[in-house]
Amino acid sequence: MNVIVIGGGASGMAAAIEAARKGANVKLIEKGERLGRKILATGNGKCNYSNKDCSEDSYNDNAKEFVKTVYSKVSPEETIEFFDELGIYPRLESEGRLYPASEQAASVCDALRMEVERLENIEVVTQHWIKGLLKRREGGFYVVSHRNLRLMTDKVIMACGGRAGSQYGCEGDGHALAEALNLEVIEPCPSLVQLTSNEEYFKQLKGVRAKGKVTLIEKDAHGGDPKPVDSEAGEIQFTEFGLSGICIFNLSGRANRLMYEKKKCSIVIDLFPEIEKEEFYEMLKLRLERSSHKDCEDFLNGLINKKLIPVVMKSSGVKKLNEKVDTITEEQLRMIAHKLKAWEVTITGSKSWTDAQCTSGGVELSQIVPETMESKQYPGLYFAGEVLDVDGKCGGYNLQWAWSSGILAGRSAAEDTDA
Ligand SMILES: Cc1cc2nc3c(=O)[nH]c(=O)nc-3n(C[C@H](O)[C@H](O)[C@H](O)COP(=O)(O)OP(=O)(O)OC[C@H]3O[C@@H](n4cnc5c(N)ncnc54)[C@H](O)[C@@H]3O)c2cc1C
């Protein structure tokens, strides 16, 4: 069995290794100079390569059932074992995140590269850009390179990634190759990315971090009823252009998708999710009584980050911050309570593909058999990794998806003989 794997990233290397171990002759074709460039950048250079609590729940709604089936075939435990055999000793960190004990992403990349080198039936071709895929009438495929070379093969595994981290070679080639075969591709948009806003105050809030709950709100273009879409809790980072932090990242794919659908969206921040709104207002009332000697600018001292105070006060109608707190009216106090419990930030977009860590959208999943990763329309063609419409949250879920789907595609491509 001859198998060509297009893309030498996380899923492509896993697929090539598994296919070769099952006896296939594998050609692993990578556009860049080296295999696995993006892996080196993952997890801030430490590579959060899996999560102890990985399940379909950490992926987009369209993908949950699909991911569940794939993980029933190649479980996260199996991939942790796969890496253990390659010498990667897992170290558990907060929220179930797994990192190599070396705390170096290079270890994960090197372990895969060494295994690719050890397997004599894998040929690595770098600096080769695949631009076309043709089905042969006699069976199998031609894979067409940028030099118009036609490589004949029985099976193809498409593992070109999505568009996130485009500086590492992922520019949506897999989507273009799939579309050229008339396969449906859900419009890709950046996920796990910072969200932007035009609110003036962000310039002065750069560097502020605050814990809380964030809710993504959908509003239709005609200003209909706002609808909560999803919520996350954690550390919110205020930046000069908008909002960042893992909880924001986890909502960003859905926010971008709403905006791609021409809907409006906002993020509502609750800086005190542990207290009910009315109880919080009563607490502020008591604080007011105890603070008669203070100026307005000090009223919220100890409650929120100092840089947030003038923004909250002014947007609640308290304009003169050097006046005593007894000038704050009941209405203004209610506004302050509202701001701290439901601070609404209108979102205008997100940072670009080079800042995004994942792609929302991609090859539509109903076209793929989840038990094998094979295309229903093109037997012998398999898909793996981020090129598909699967996007996970922060925490090792995207690499886990790349490994499991890659191993399953490699195994199926090597074993299946009816192409
Ligand atoms: C900065 C950053 C940090 C991240 N950190 C984490 C993390 O800690 N944990 C986690 O789970 N996920 C993380 N991710 C996400 C994770 O890296 C990806 O989901 C994963 O690498 C996807 O694997 P893949 O094989 O589908 O694609 P990729 O790893 O992107 O590999 C695709 C490969 O295909 C090649 N290619 C593309 N087109 C062609 C073509 N036409 N011909 C030949 N080759 C081609 C590309 O050059 C690339 O090498 C991070 C992403 C980024 C950008």
Tell whether domain 2-191+360-415 is in CATH 3.40.50.300.
no
Residue in 145, 148, 178 with CA at minimum distance from that of residue 162: 178
pLDDT band at 416 (very low <50, low <70, confident <90, very high): low
**pLDDT surpasses 80 at 220:** no
Task: Find the mean pLDDT for residues 103-111.
Answer: 98
**pLDDT surpasses 60 at 351:** yes
Beta partners for residue 349, in sequence order: 196
- Averaged confidence pLDDT in the chain: 96
202: three-class secondary structure by DSSP: helix
**pLDDT surpasses 60 at 418:** no
Distance CA 159, CA 404 (A): 12
pLDDT band at 210 (very low <50, low <70, confident <90, very high): very high
**pLDDT surpasses 60 at 363:** yes
pTM for the complete prediction? 0.96
Cα 350 to Cα 2, 193, 259: the distances in Å are 42, 7, 10
pLDDT band at 275 (very low <50, low <70, confident <90, very high): very high
Residue 379: CB atoms within 10 Å: 16
Which of 27, 125, 160, 408 for a ligand 1 pocket mutation test, highest count of atoms within 8 Å of Cβ? 160
pLDDT band at 150 (very low <50, low <70, confident <90, very high): very high
Distance CA 148, CA 82 (A): 36
**pLDDT surpasses 60 at 285:** yes
pLDDT band at 373 (very low <50, low <70, confident <90, very high): very high
- In this prediction, residue 152 carries a pLDDT of 97
Q: Which residues line ligand 1 (CB under 6 A)?
A: 6-12, 29-32, 37-38, 41-43, 47-48, 129-130, 159-161, 164-165, 169-170, 173, 357-358, 385-387, 396-399, 402
Task: Find the mean pLDDT for residues 101-115.
Answer: 98
- Greatest Cα pair distance, the chain, in angstroms, is 88
Cβ(48)–Cβ(24) below 8 Å: no
Domain extents for the chain?
2-191+360-415, 194-350
Distance 324 CA to ligand 1 centre (A): 56
Distance CA 333, CA 419 (A): 70
Kindly give, in sequence order, each residue whose CB lies less than 8 Å from that of residue 394, ignoring residues fewer than 6 positions away: 192, 246, 249, 250, 357
Burial class (CB in 10 A: 0-12, 13-18, 19+), 136: middle
Beta partners for residue 148, in sequence order: none
Beta 2-6 vs 25-29: how paired, if at all? parallel
**pLDDT surpasses 80 at 217:** yes
Cβ(197)–Cβ(345) below 8 Å: yes
